Amino acid sequence: MEYVMDTVSSDHALEPFLALLKANGKFILLGAPDKPLQLPSLSLIYENTSVVVLGLVGRKLIGGGMVGGIKETQEMIDFCAKHNIITDIEVIQLDNLNTAMKRLAEGDVKYLLIIDMANSLSS
């Protein structure tokens, strides 16, 4: 994958998500866990990956951003509604991830693919 946007705000393993990235892929951390970020050091070492200042982890860029609270989120939604800013997305279930990856490889994806984790894990 080219991008993984992690919005989970609780403590969780990053290694499975980093493994999804292709060379020069980007892991973008949007959630803010209570505990410090834990990088999978052994896999970084075994993959001959180095951690460098500026967040470059072996051809995988790790970045972060502040999402804001409810007030800021509502302001963003209001701004988008006022200016007719929309995005084209395709929502998929986790069960369809392999098919989605094949479609990506074949250039058959027209919109941003969003994995519906909540409904995928509850069913």
HSE-CB for 108 with a 13 A CA cutoff: 7
Question: What residues have CB less than 8 Å from 8, skipping those under 6 apart?
Answer: 31, 33
Confidence band of 103 (pLDDT split at 50, 70, 90): very high
Side chain identity, residue 69: G
Residue 42 above 50 pLDDT?
yes
CA dihedral sign of residues 96, 90, 71, 35: positive
Evaluate if pTM is beyond 0.85: no
Mean predicted lDDT score pLDDT of the chain? 75
pLDDT at 49 (0 to 100)? 38
Residue 62 pLDDT level (bands cut at 50, 70, 90): low
pLDDT band of 60, cuts 50, 70, 90: low
Domains in the chain, please, with CATH?
A: 1-67 (3.40.50.720)
Could you tell me the two tokens for 23? 């060379």
